[in-house]
Chains A and B, each alone.
Chain A
Amino acid sequence: MLEMCSDPSALEGLPWLACYLTNGKHLLFYQSFGTVLGLLALAAPLALAMGFIGALAKRSQLPGIRQLGQGYVAMVRGIPDIVFFLFVPLLIDQGIEIVRHYALCPEVTDPIYQGNDFVVCQAAKMPVSSAAPWVHSLYGFSLALMAFTLVFGAFAANTLDGALSAVPSTQLETARAYGMSPGQTFWRIQLPQMWGYALPGLANLWQILIKATPLLFLLGIEDIVYWARELGGAKGGRFAYPHPDWRIYYFGGLLIFYMLMTWGSERVFNRLQSRLSAGQATLAGKGAGL
């Protein structure tokens, strides 16, 4: 395959297409699917964990924590996501660099904010200029992940809070009657039953998270939307593989990818739902397994 591809101008038809779809740029395109799936694999559990913390904070008896939890959830749900996606990575990045500047370069007395510029000493940059490109990519990805966690954590917190409240109070009273402490009641009675109520909301959130992954593109990370736009644009004679505007095929491919993801997720959640509501009377009728 590789020797055939050394002179693309001599190829036509299927061999040209084969070489085209395996050139350097396309390999980066296929890798970016890994970036997107990686984001999903990491953002989902992190957002769930954030959601738990948020839900527990919202229901806490301690006065300050309760306000903090409710404030966090209300703010993130009310403010457009895009503000968080643009603002949070910038805030974290500059915050880290400022801390490093004061820690590593105490001898530099110039102000950090000079006119329009944000200037920290070379050693304080995060990541440092001499770091390999993959370090920069990983760092950018981590910032994006933090933004996703923050935003989707608030929605998860709301869902989990509602699900915790939906567990019948009779269950909790019985647990107390048996002499279980509040902690035991929560972990052994409330939490396991909560999952059945939380799952539809969390499944919905997962689908929204899949839909939101192109926001990586907004943060300058080379995800599948970035590459589809880059590869699809018309290419002239300067390129080894010239072609007209093929964006419709590339974006069509993305459409198929996202629809397969959604369909697959839907099947998994349906199976999960029937397992979790086994033996319970739900609005959909008695669960499977009975």
Chain B
Amino acid sequence: MKKTLLSALAAGLIAVPAMADTVRMGTEGAYPPYNFVNDAGEIDGYERHVGDLLCEVAKLDCTWVKNDWDSIIPNLVGGNYDTIIAGMSITAERDEVIDFTQAYLPPDPSFYVALAGTDPSVITAGIVAAQTNTIQAGEVAKGSATLVEFASPDETVAAVKNGEADAVLADGAFLQEAVDASNGELVVIETVLLGGGIGIGVRESDGELKAKLNAAIDTIKADGRLNALITEWFSADQAVY
């Protein structure tokens, strides 16, 4: 009885599975238009479509996984998924831990957004909200304003609306949607260009996947399909390749 139990346990642990190699694409799901969860409950957005297109071009079998921003890099290196495609800017600091493909979106200017009528001096002297572990948080921390960090992008905008912060700094495309939906309550008070474009994050040991994705990105940049997606998801001001 004990023997059969032990062998059943061992068999369960080392049962040989099906051999298909699926690439798991990790994203945040809270940053429209880059990536968000639509009302049907599916991951949607620019990055969903870019990711699906790249998988089609590189002939990879892909599934999508959602993960909170804070643990998105640790879970990549821990093997929960194989890529990060979540509006993550290529920075030297992140490059020490993971590898990036080439950028698949030219840098999107970041906006300072505040309640209508706010004096622009809050950018240097007030309280500015940003999401933790973003280039925008780093930018505010470098300056003289007080930084207030939040775990999700939604909360940073909510902080400005309820008065906790004077302004919020985040990617322009994301904040433009919030400004448009606010009926004049929120306005853009300043723009600043940050970061070197967003890239797909992969593990440093995963050179093969990085090469495949880079080749696929080259292909869709060359034949204009990437530009078509950019104009579909972003405003007319967004630069294209």
Is A116 an interface position by the 8 A CB rule? yes
B155 to chain A: which residues have CB within 8 Å?
Answer: 233
Judging by beta carbons under 8 Å apart, are B40 and A24 in contact? yes
The 8 A CB mask of B173-208 against A (1 = contact, 0 = none) is 000011011000000000000000000000111100
The stretch of A44-52, A124-132, A155-163, A277-285 in contact with B is A124-132
A116, closest chain B residue (CB): B77
Given contacts A117-B77, A123-B19, A238-B36, contact A25 B177 (CB under 8 A): no
The 8 A CB mask of B99-115 against A (1 = contact, 0 = none) is 00000000000000000
Given contacts A118-B77, A129-B24, A229-B152, contact A236 B13 (CB under 8 A): no
Is A28 an interface position by the 8 A CB rule? yes
Q: How far is the CA of A117 from the CA of B39 in the complex (A)?
A: 35
* Minimum C-beta distance from B180 to chain A (A): 6
The 8 A CB mask of A118-147 against B (1 = contact, 0 = none) is 111011010111110100100000000000
For chains A and B in complex, what number of residue pairs have CB atoms within 8 angstroms?
117
B6 to chain A: which residues have CB within 8 Å?
Answer: none
Is A171 an interface position by the 8 A CB rule? no
The stretch of B61-69, B85-93, B124-132, B220-228 in contact with A is B61-69
Judging by beta carbons under 8 Å apart, are A230 and B204 in contact? no
Q: How far is the CA of A128 from the CA of B177 in the complex (A)?
A: 38
Given contacts A130-B22, A234-B158, A237-B180, contact A99 B13 (CB under 8 A): yes
Chain A: residues with CB nearer than 8 A to chain B?
8, 23-25, 27-28, 90, 94, 96-97, 99-100, 103-104, 114-120, 122-123, 125, 127-131, 133, 136, 220, 229-230, 233-242, 245, 247
Chain B: residues with CB nearer than 8 A to chain A?
13-14, 16-24, 30, 32-33, 36-42, 61, 63, 65, 67-68, 71, 75, 77-79, 82, 97-98, 152, 154-155, 157-158, 161, 177-178, 180-181, 203-206
